[in-house]
Amino acid sequence: MRHPVGNSQNGIAIYVDLIHSDAAKHISRQPYLLGLAGEALRQTTLQGPEAILEYNMGRTIGYNFVVNTKATDNIFYAQLVREKTYTRFVKNGQPDSTQYLTLILRRNEDDNTYELHDAWIGHLCPPQPGSTNETSESRQYWANHAFVLDNQPLQMRTVTRVCPY
Query: pLDDT tens-digit profile of 53-89?
Result: 999 999 999 999 999 999 999 999 999 998 999 999 9
pLDDT of residue 104: 97
Helix (H, G, I), strand (E, B), or coil: what is residue 40?
Answer: helix
Cβ-based burial of 49 (10 A; exposed 0-12, middle 13-18, buried ≥19): exposed
Residue 1 has pLDDT above 80, yes or no: no
> By the 8 A CB rule, do 38 and 32 touch?
no
Q: Which residues contact 134 (CB under 8 A, 6 or more apart)?
A: 126, 127, 128
Q: Which residues contact 68 (CB under 8 A, 6 or more apart)?
A: 144, 145
Would the pTM of this model clear 0.95, i.e. be above it?
A: no
Helix (H, G, I), strand (E, B), or coil: what is residue 63?
Answer: strand
Q: pLDDT of 99-150, one tens digit each?
A: 999 999 999 989 999 999 999 999 999 999 999 989 999 999 999 999 999 9
pLDDT of residue 26: 92
Please compute the mean of the pLDDT values over residues 84-96 and round it to a whole number. 95
How many other CB atoms are there within 10 angstroms of residue 132's CB atom? 7
